[in-house]
Amino acid sequence: GGNRTFSMIKPDAVKDGHSGSILKMIEGAGFRIVAIKLTYLSAERAGEFYAVHTGKPFYDSLKSIMSESPIIALILEKENAVEDFRKLIGATNPANADAGTIRKLFAKSLERNAVHGSDSDENAQIEGSFFFSALEKF
């Protein structure tokens, strides 16, 4: 039981072969995988996903980096999912991430920071629906 969050394993982490280790940490922390998909974002789709960042100095770079190679999209379930998942992944900038967090272990930089996690229940719902149909997130 519990509520849900959305996560993406980002292109660099997939390409560098960290998907298995990251999924193992996610399941080990008590999250149930509700939905999972290896897919690809075009720069345009990446821009839609990150529309909230339109106009920011890192927006074009973010679109480019997120469309370099495949990503893994995930819907995850656990009590207190959004907050607990953000603790598991650590700070957005890996330089500020606590030891033992996914970003501390696998992020290369602020822009190539290994994973995304939703920042609210509302955004978890929106972001999950960006990648998965209703039947895929049963």
Query: Annotated binding site for ATP: which residue ranges?
Result: 10, 58, 86, 92, 103, 113
- 29-68 mask for ligand CMP (x: CB under 6 A)? ---------------------x-------x---x------
The site for ligand CMP, by CB under 6 A, has a size of: 8
Cα separation of 80 and 101, whole Å? 17
Q: How far is the CB of 130 from ligand CMP (least distance, A)?
A: 13
Q: Which of 34, 119, 108 is nearest to 85 (CA)?
A: 119
Q: How far is the CB of 76 from ligand CMP (least distance, A)?
A: 15
**116 lines the binding site for ligand CMP (CB under 6 A):** yes
Question: In the Cβ-directed half-sphere of 134, how many Cα atoms lie within 13 Å?
Answer: 0
Rounded to whole angstroms, what are the CA distances from 63 to 11, 60, 105, 111, 118? 11, 5, 23, 10, 17
**Identified catalytic residue from 74, 90, 116, 117:** 116
